[in-house]
Amino acid sequence: MSQTERVPADQYRTVVTRPDDFDAFWDDLLAQSAEIPMNATVELVPLRSTPEIEVYDVHYDSLDGVRIAGWYALPRERSGKLPGIVQLPGYLQDPPIPRSWAEDGYAAFSAAPRGKIRSNQQFNPGYPGLLTHNMVDRNTYTYRGFYIDAARTIDFLLSRDEVDGERIGVSGSSQGGGLAISTAGLRPEIRAAAAGCPYLCGYMDSIELTHTYPYQEIRDYLRLYPERREAVRDTLAYFDGINFGPRITCPIMVYIGLQDNVCPPETGYAAFDTIASEDKQIYPYDGHGHDAGSVHHGAILKDFFKNHLQNR
């Protein structure tokens, strides 16, 4: 589809088809994951801490025996159990220390799923490369383990005495937004989710709607291996955020930039439309690209989590 033929983003119809065994595939992986001891280590890092915030270096075990790293931040002054929040990383982003969330009164965790810096000793397809690694086999594709690594952040928070397991949220933008959608779909314990310009939604749509990286990685791959297009399409259907939507029942917000040429807004609308939650809201920002209107949306984001996780 050429740019001149593009329909308004909110009227776009995705080409994604949900596999009949989509839920069975992920439920089986979740069951496998639940049998893996976390073996979590939590070490205070004075150099990264502040007078107000304690920062901990965390490591835990995940699918296939891969060891995952993360940062955990807590307010030093606290009483009672805290709401928990997971900050999920972008594709090129090194997961940040989530001090700002801790400053707002959360037990905040930021994980580095496999292949990210600090979690790439056992698995490192590189950048570019992560998106297309083993893309023709759902049982070995990168995001099979990557999504489970993100889902296990919830297990970490549930294991902490200082966290209220009834008040856990997830937030992220770009790849983090895609992971917020998949994690909310995989973990019913989540009480609120926010997904900015969600990546990993509408893979096969996106390679026709944009020619920018990271989706360009798929175009490059299919140019070299055109005979694999059907296998790629079939594999990616199991990892497409659009297909996780029916599993999401918690309150959720999606915010997108209508001029985003990295994660096309059409795919953000398509993912939003499939979300089963009765409490969902989409925020489209005209005049904004991959920033997804963050300069305007920051206060809305904070209020959303305050209302759903703190004012209970």
260, 288, 297, 308: the active-site residue: 260
What ranges in the chain are assigned the alpha helix state H?
22-34, 99-103, 142-158, 175-186, 203-209, 216-224, 229-236, 241-244, 265-274, 294-305
- Token pair 């220390």 in the structure block, residue: 97
Is 59 a known active-site residue? Answer: no
For the sheet containing 41-44, what is the strand order? 41-44, 53-61, 67-75, 107-112, 82-88, 163-173, 192-196, 252-257, 280-285
DSSP lists the bridge partners of residue 176 as none
- Token pair 């997971």 in the structure block, residue: 86
CB atoms within 10 A of CB 2: 6
Q: How far is the CA of 98 from the CAs of 16, 110, 132, 195, 264, in angstroms?
A: 34, 6, 29, 17, 27
DSSP lists the bridge partners of residue 82 as 163
Instruction: Report the SS3 class of residue 101.
Output: helix
Is 62 a known active-site residue? Answer: no
119, 171, 173, 174: the active-site residue: 174
133, 290, 297, 308: the active-site residue: 290
Is 240 a known active-site residue? Answer: no
Known catalytic residues?
174, 260, 290
